[in-house]
Amino acid sequence: MRRYRVAVVPGDGIGREVTPAALEVLEAAGHRHGFALDLDEHPWGCDYFVEHGRMMPPDGLEQLRRSDAILLGAVGRPDVPDHISLWGLLIPIRRTFCQYVNLRPVRLWPGISSPVRDAQVDMVIVRENVEGEYSEIGGRMNQGTDDELAIQEAVFTRRGTDRVMAYACALAARRSGRICSATKSNGIIHTMPFWDERFAHATSQHPELQAEQVLVDALAAAVVLEPQRFDVIVASNLFGDILSDLAAAVAGSIGIAPSGNLNPERECPSMFEPVHGSAPDIAGRGIANPVGAVWSAAMMLEHLGEAEAADSILRAVGDVLANDGPRTADLGGTATTAEVTAAICERVRAS
């Protein structure tokens, strides 16, 4: 039997509810398709921070390095500042393991209503994941005085920009052949013209592609007004983060949105997580939508080479959503996390 070592970090809030749900679905898929997961669970996150003063132990990254993949739930707690939780756990993992592609597929599933009339959504946002606007370079001076200032530097390297655009172009070539770059070179005078130049270079290597670049403010409007126009969108760290949340809302709910933090060369483990946060307002009530975590788990299986099992999970999710299966409150239903999970598992077993 094929075996994979998976590090599991449920994290905080609803992460502790949707991660077990995803693991149930993975177990059902494993029985059906002949593989097993050896799970290493790590109780890291904001609760760990409150107790230990850090988001994970000093050797946390080395513990994760031994895995074939990482499955993450969510990170965040109201009394822990977001910059501590992000920079204490997620960003060190992404950068240490060179997970430079944040892959965020967005789909309007049959049976789900979009807040946008007649919307057709089937796109993938390729977000640069380790540099750009999310840089450590900067600082604050004269705090608490009228002369206080804060400086944050955006960092775009040729290596970092070229590799994420090469990935996006190859993906677009396998899909519809359409690719769009999110830019803001009319207002951001250095980094965005550089981004545009590297996009032109990347697409020149793929003359078969239909390429366009759109200013990010206009692009945000277009994702809402004509989402069918887009297939692959490549964007910087900040722009990709914002656009993917917006697109997920157009597709019905951020609760169903998945993501993969990928090291395409597979030199280090990749990490898979739902896009939604820890949602402390509904945590502990058993009503969180597990689909985002389940879809992320399917992405993990595909990355590990279990494409057939991944497809069976997505078919099961689609069957539940399209055929009046149970759905959680964010999709207009009354089902619990457990009820939705059980319905997906049942269909995986029958696939």
Across 102-111, average pLDDT: 96
User: What is the rounded average pLDDT of the residues 308-337?
Assistant: 95
* pLDDT of 351 over the 90 cut: no
Q: What is the CATH number of domain 1-99+261-351?
A: 3.40.718.10
**pLDDT at residue 324 tops 90:** no
CA distance 297 to 14: 16
How many residues comprise the chain?
A: 351
The predicted structure's pLDDT at residue 41: 97
Q: What is the pLDDT of residues 254-271, one digit of tens each?
A: 999 999 999 999 999 999
pLDDT-derived band at 98, boundaries 50, 70, 90: very high
Q: What is the DSSP letter of 89?
A: I
pLDDT at position 254 is 92
Fold match, 1-99+261-351 / 114-251: yes
- Give the Cα-Cα-Cα angle 17, 327, 82 (nearest 5 degrees): 40
Tens-digit pLDDT profile for residues 117-145: 888 999 999 999 999 999 989 999 999 99
What is the spatial distance between Cα 220 and Cα 213, in angstroms, rounded to a whole number? 13
Q: Which CATH architecture has domain 114-251?
A: 3-Layer(aba) Sandwich (3.40)
Average pLDDT over residues 23-42: 97
**Residue 220: what are its φ and ψ, rounded to 5°?**
-60, -40
Max CA pair span of the chain: 66
Contact 329, 279 (CB under 8 A): no
Domain boundaries, the chain: 1-99+261-351, 114-251
- State how far the Cα of 205 lies from the Cα of 198, in Å rounded to an integer: 11
Average of pLDDT values for 83-93?
93
Which 8-state DSSP code applies to residue 87?
I
Nearest-angstrom CA–CA distance, 344 and 295:
11
The gap from C-alpha 232 to its chain's centroid, in whole angstroms, comes to 15
Whole-prediction pTM value? Answer: 0.95
What is the distance between the alpha carbons of residues 183 and 1, in angstroms, rounded to a whole number? 47
Write the pLDDT tens digit of every residue in 146-165: 999 999 999 999 999 999 99
Mean pLDDT of 7-24: 97
